[in-house]
Amino acid sequence: MVVNIYDTANEMERQMRETQEFQALKKAFDDLQKDADASLMFTKFQAKQAAAEKKERSGQQLTKDEITEIQSLAKEVSTKPAVQNLLNQERGLDQMMQKLNQIITEPIRDLYNSAMPKSADNENK
């Protein structure tokens, strides 16, 4: 039997959009967009964070001023209720994604675990 796993992945993508976790994230994102100050601050923080990650990936170190600026922005943006709600909803979606990843990768874990030598404790059970 030939399985097209990409068809399954595309169906999961469609179903993801219907989950409670995604809908809650979408609402939180929409609410953030309605708060101009919080939205602008969040966008600025994301841009600074992305630039810092890019710099680090290229092997460059962040300056103390850059680190301080990002930390300051993070502290300021985290005081916004719309941002707090968005981050809470992201955590909920992330938890679901982690569980899905565990399910999807179970065959790989099983494969490698089957090759592990059995300990004397496991053989006696």
| Residue 41 CB neighbours (<10 A) | 20
In this prediction, residue 116 carries a pLDDT of 87
Cα 109 vs. chain centroid, distance in angstroms? Answer: 22
In this prediction, residue 36 carries a pLDDT of 96
Tokens of 78: 């985290």
User: Has this prediction a pTM greater than 0.95?
Assistant: no
Domains parsed from the chain with CATH numbers? 17-114 (1.20.1500.10)
Please, are residues 42 and 80 in contact by the beta-carbon 8 Å criterion?
A: yes
pLDDT per 10-residue tile (average), the chain, 125 residues: 87 97 98 96 94 95 94 94 97 97 96 83 53
Tokens of 119: 């300990």
Within the chain, where are the H helices?
Answer: 5-16, 20-34, 36-57, 64-77, 81-104, 106-115, 120-123
